[in-house]
Amino acid sequence: MVPVAVINQKPSLLSRIGRWTTELLLVFVGVYGAFWLNSYQQHRQDAERRDQILASLGEQLREGIKSGKINRAKQEQEAAEFRRALDAGEMPPLKAFVFTTDYSPTDWATMLQSGGVQLLDVQTLMAVRNDESVIRWGLSRMAWYQKLSDELIVPNLDQDISFFMTQPRASCENDSRFIRKLWIQG
């Protein structure tokens, strides 16, 4: 049995300070550990989001390259047929130039503003910026070609093919006014 004097005895000041210090140290270590764990989890999430963005970029590029190769082959075939007809002294029928795209510059702006800037390294951001610049230039070029088509070909599609020639002739030694203007401006 414990004597009553020991039970009623209050802990000494040094003992209480030691216990407070220990509790304070435990709270500090716990809070520090929680912040460290939160930071670790945030870095992992950022790394996963970065990997997802880069994977998406890679997939879009692969799809764009594949589509570009298919379109290029088709356009080269049509251009070769047009050249073949010109070389044979014929004037192939002209048709309207139509270009459509689902490109939207706000897609990338939105992605970057929603945290992409913090997740991607400077090299990737500069590469995306350069690609965007090339895309905008190409779209501007396509818009110019479509404008030429709309102004020069479409209103005159009901005309005889000689309407598009610089001078009446039996062979196609000279290009049509449309083709000359298209290549000079283009």
> In this predicted structure, what is the pLDDT of residue 4?
54
Quote the pLDDT of residue 151.
87
Q: What is the pLDDT of residue 22?
A: 93
**What value does the mean pLDDT take over residues 140-168?**
80
| Long-range pairs for 55-60: beta carbons < 8 A, 24 or more residues apart | 57/124, 57/128
Per-residue buried b or exposed e for 133-170, using 16+ beta carbons within 10 Å of the residue's own CB = eeeeeeeeeeeeebebbeebbeeeeeeeeeebbeeeee
Ranked by mean pLDDT, which of 62-76, 90-104, 162-176 comes out on top? 62-76
The pTM of this model reads 0.56
Check: CB of residue 94 under 8 Å from CB of residue 177: no
Q: Which of 17-21, 65-69, 92-96, 132-136 has the lowest mean pLDDT?
A: 92-96
Give the model's confidence band at 42: pLDDT under 50 very low, under 70 low, under 90 confident, else very high: very high
Query: Can you name the residues that pair with 165 across neighbouring β-strands?
Result: 176
Instruction: Count H helices and E strands in the chain, helices first.
Output: 6, 0
Does the pLDDT value for residue 171 go beyond 90? Answer: no
The 3-state DSSP composition of the chain as helix, strand, coil percent (nearest 5) reads 75, 0, 25
Among 1-10, 74-83, 153-162, 169-178, the minimum mean pLDDT is found in 169-178
